[in-house]
Structure 1
């Protein structure tokens, strides 16, 4: 039996409970993030849900001005469904989204998925000394 894979930006399809559980309880970068914060981040981002036979198994969001810049965030595939190429399909869908084709700069941060992102042209910052940040505790 063939498996049906769908990647959609339709926010009405998102299972916010799955996104919240993964980000707040399982991820290393968003541990403890509140449901309210996750809901607001979804409302204000271009979101991508990954669905396997209708069940949500992955997620990513893009913060963008739709003109020159985008930052990819909160990317995950449910650990039970990794190794099926879903992460590659997700990043491909993001990079090929019609509303993001004029962008000059893409950004993201990762601790453990450099190999995935390098396949799509991402590389370490060419001028890290120009980047600055403020981190709240």
Structure 2
């Protein structure tokens, strides 16, 4: 029996957060990965990016046009897309015991709108509903604004002793990190 990733969505004003991987525009996601702000990653070939999205639980943040928010997406005469990807986060997860939060990013022009706080709330809502979850892990830059966000809104804390974190960079790691 294979456990499917649950499809959830939340709306607020002209914004949508969805876990539906079929909505994620891969070209727009790769543009995010190409940003200097995403120092931990880089764009991927589309077939590999598609695989990554399909095998993760993604929390994609969209700005939604007025017509799309009214359910008229198919009939809109607007030239701008009905959904614009403006933020992203994903879990590498078995959907039972552990979630590794990674690739958290919001476009700079949207960062002062508390959308990151909202996204963390959506992530926390799914996390707290998991009856057998042992934990969530992530790697963040010490002293960054994201560290404070994770501590405050996801109740994340330093790894407890005697535990420690190890890593090994692979060929796909961003250079200089």
TM-score range, shorter chain: 0.7 to 0.9
5+ long unaligned stretches in structure 1: none
Q: Does the Cα contact within 8 Å between 2:19 and 2:59 map onto a contact in 1?
A: yes
User: How far apart, in 1, do the equivalents of 2:162 and 2:117 lie?
Assistant: 26
5+ long unaligned stretches in structure 2: 1-11, 65-82, 172-177
Bigger Cα Rg: 2
The aligned residue for residue 117 of structure 1 is 150
Distance 1:107 1:16, change over 3 A: same
SS in 2 for 1:19: helix
Normalised by the length of structure 2, the TM-score is: 0.68
How do 1:121-136 residues align onto structure 2 when only pairs under 5 Å count? 121-127=155-161, 129-136=163-170
Displaced runs of 4 or more, over 6 A? none
Q: Does the Cα contact within 8 Å between 1:24 and 1:32 map onto a contact in 2?
A: yes
User: How far apart, in 2, do the equivalents of 1:128 and 1:76 lie?
Assistant: 31
Q: Does the Cα contact within 8 Å between 1:24 and 1:33 map onto a contact in 2?
A: no
Q: Does the Cα contact within 8 Å between 1:66 and 1:100 map onto a contact in 2?
A: no
The aligned residue for residue 29 of structure 1 is 40
The aligned residue for residue 51 of structure 1 is 62
Shift of the alpha carbon at 1:129? 4.3
Shift of the alpha carbon at 1:130? 4.0
Normalised by the length of structure 1, the TM-score is: 0.86
Report the aligned-residue RMSD: 2.2
Q: How many residue pairs align between the two structures? A: 136
